[in-house]
Amino acid sequence: MKGTSDVDPSIYECGPASDSVHSLLRLHAAVDWFVPPVATPEDARTTLEHYQRLALAFAPDLCARSPTIEVRSGHWPDFQRLCETTRENLQWDWKFGVLKPLTKRHSEAQGWSKPLDPPVTATEPTPSAPFLRIGDAILWNIRVAQLDLSLLDDPQREAARFFKQWADYDTFDAVEWQLAEPGCALEDNPFTHLLQLYEGGYYPFHLAKDRVVLFHFSPNGPCTTF
Amino acid sequence: MSPRDAAILALARRLLGPRTRFEDVVSALERAVVRTIPAGRVFVIGQSEHGPIVGSAISGVGVAARPGGVDVVRVVDGRVVRLAMMAEQRRAMVVR
């Protein structure tokens, strides 16, 4: 299942970070979601470990030094259960406990903040502007490809929407990393590796600070065809 | 609506006070998000006939202007669903 967007990723004018931002948005747009993987489990594990190393180097207090990585394959009910487990886990929240503080620290370390003079939104937004102003609020205006989830039944759709929305946020974190540090190679941006996991057909569930399930849809058995 | 979205909107309402303009609602929402979430972001998530819809790219919950006020809405699969009222302009009572 590939996403569609009414906006070409290359229209965003992000100054010296434009090329890398466009690359990240194209990487996100190329992901074929919720289908059996194209990467091997070994490659996926290596990609996740690359993310872990970069995140640990920047924020050692936020990340486990040697998390357990379990590669698990399954079908929609297994994916749904992992989404529910993640959603119901009130003790540990990878997105809010690690990824967002990681982004915030990086932006602060680079002295980056949103531009103070983006175009004003009137009745028609400016599609090429990554940020828009309404009153004294400065808003993100970058859009990523969206999925048509109408082919899925209700539980599948809810799980797919849950995961995809959080994966979209990884893309925004990746973009903010580049905006904050335009000279950073994409390989050195930890969020790039999360997008590469999705591109390879692997879905990381951080069930605890030191435990990750790297899920992929099984190529065998009942699997939704899009 | 998730507890996090509900908490952010409740804080935005407190920060908004008696003001009702869309620009003021958006400003209050942005301040509420930044106070609640590290690296919190507010997005333009859609467009209605009355202007931009502003809110969370994660949940699709946001605010949208309408004649006479501002609504809390959810943008889901391209559809805009009204969830609640965010701000309502008071109208002077006319006694005839």
ipTM of the complex: 0.88
Is B58 an 8 Å CB contact of chain A?
A: yes
Q: How many CB atoms lie within 10 A of CB A70?
A: 13
| 3-state secondary structure (DSSP) of residue A142 | coil
Is B57 an 8 Å CB contact of chain A?
A: yes
Q: Which residues pair with A24 in a beta bridge?
A: none
Q: Which of A139, A166, A173 sits opposite B42 (nearest CB)?
A: A139
Per-residue pLDDT, A122: 59
What DSSP string runs through B13-32? HHHHTT---HHHHHHHHHHH
Element at B47 (helix H, strand E): strand B43-48
Is residue A210 within 8 Å of A67, Cβ to Cβ? yes
Determine the Cα–Cα distance for residues A32 and A34; give it in Å rounded to an integer.
7
C-beta atoms of A137 and B42 within 8 A = yes
The torsion angles phi and psi of B48, rounded to 5 degrees, stand at -115, 180
C-beta atoms of A169 and B58 within 8 A = yes
- Confidence label for B92 from pLDDT (cuts 50, 70 and 90): low
Determine the Cα–Cα distance for residues A60 and A74; give it in Å rounded to an integer.
32
Q: Which of A140, A149, A176 sits opposite B43 (nearest CB)?
A: A140
Structure tokens at A16: 């010296």
From residue A50, how far is each of A152, A190, A216, A217, B3 by CA, in Å? 33, 8, 18, 22, 33
Per-residue pLDDT, B96: 60
pLDDT, averaged per 10 consecutive residues of chain A (226 residues), comes to 86 95 96 96 96 94 92 96 90 86 95 86 75 92 88 92 92 97 97 98 94 92 48
DSSP, res A151:
G
User: Between these two residues, A204 and B90, which has the higher pLDDT value?
Assistant: A204
Residue matched to tokens 């609506």? B1
Nearest CA-CA partner of A216 in A45, A30, A119, A79: A79
Per-residue pLDDT, A225: 43
Per-residue pLDDT, A145: 87
The torsion angles phi and psi of B25, rounded to 5 degrees, stand at -65, -45
Is residue B29 within 8 Å of B54, Cβ to Cβ? yes
Per-residue pLDDT, A131: 93
Taking CB atoms and an 8 Å cut-off, how many pairs form between chains A and B?
A: 74
DSSP, res A120:
B
Q: Which of A134, A141, A148 sits opposite B26 (nearest CB)?
A: A134
Q: Calculate how close chain B gets to A83, using CA atoms only, in Å.
A: 15
The torsion angles phi and psi of B63, rounded to 5 degrees, stand at -125, 145
Q: Strand pairing of A137-140 and A203-208?
A: unpaired
Is residue B82 within 8 Å of A180, Cβ to Cβ? no
Per-residue pLDDT, A101: 92
Q: Give the residue from B36, B58, B59, B66 with the most A CB atoms within 10 Å of its CB, the best one to mutate.
A: B58
